[in-house]
Amino acid sequence: MKKIDFRYDLLPLKNKLFRLALRITLDSAEAEDVTQDTLVRAWQRRDELEKVDSIEAYCMTICRNLALDRREKRDAQHLSLDENPIETADASPLPDERLERDERLRHVHRLFNQLPERLRTILQLRDIEGKSVRETAQILEMTEENVKVTHHRARQLLRQQYQKIESHGL
């Protein structure tokens, strides 16, 4: 197997990892930290990396786990209870000027980020990043069946929330 090169094999993943981290942590600064930590950790494990199926999938798994850890830590600090499945994420950052400009896109962005973590992560992976069922199962360390079921739930919930917003008028 070819030797892992940081510049050409790992660094190019930065934005995909950032997007995933942001979707989970809902915080730009955290997301950047997570991305950094992910790349460092992946680099430290480069011997292992040489043997894996997909470097990208492997890194995304690390990324997600780190992001979840961060969130737990932060939530513990704020003593917030995450039992309520619909999160309030009013301060969720808008990473793109197109999102800034467009009121409607902002609404959808908020909507996505209000879904429970598992569901919005699956939408991020399957629908936004275009990952296959198989890759998604690898990244999330779930069975493919579970991925399909979760994805279905996510879309159903998204639709519900979407129609709620639309019926209140924009």
Residues that bind other proteins (CB under 8 A): 6-8, 11-12, 14-16, 18-19, 28, 32, 35-36, 39-40, 43, 95-96, 98-99, 102, 104-105, 107-109, 112, 124, 127-130, 148, 151-152, 155-156, 159, 162, 166
Cβ at position 159, least distance to other proteins in Å: 5
Q: With respect to other proteins, which residue has the nearer C-beta, 83 or 90?
A: 90
Q: What is the DSSP-derived secondary structure letter of residue 82?
A: T
Q: Rounded CA gap, 40 and 149, in Å?
A: 33
Q: With respect to other proteins, which residue has the nearer C-beta, 70 or 151?
A: 151
Give residue 36's Cα distance to chain centre: 15
Q: What is the CA radius of gyration of the chain?
A: 17
Name the phi and psi angles at 116, rounded to 5. Answer: -55, 155
Q: With respect to other proteins, which residue has the nearer C-beta, 80 or 156?
A: 156
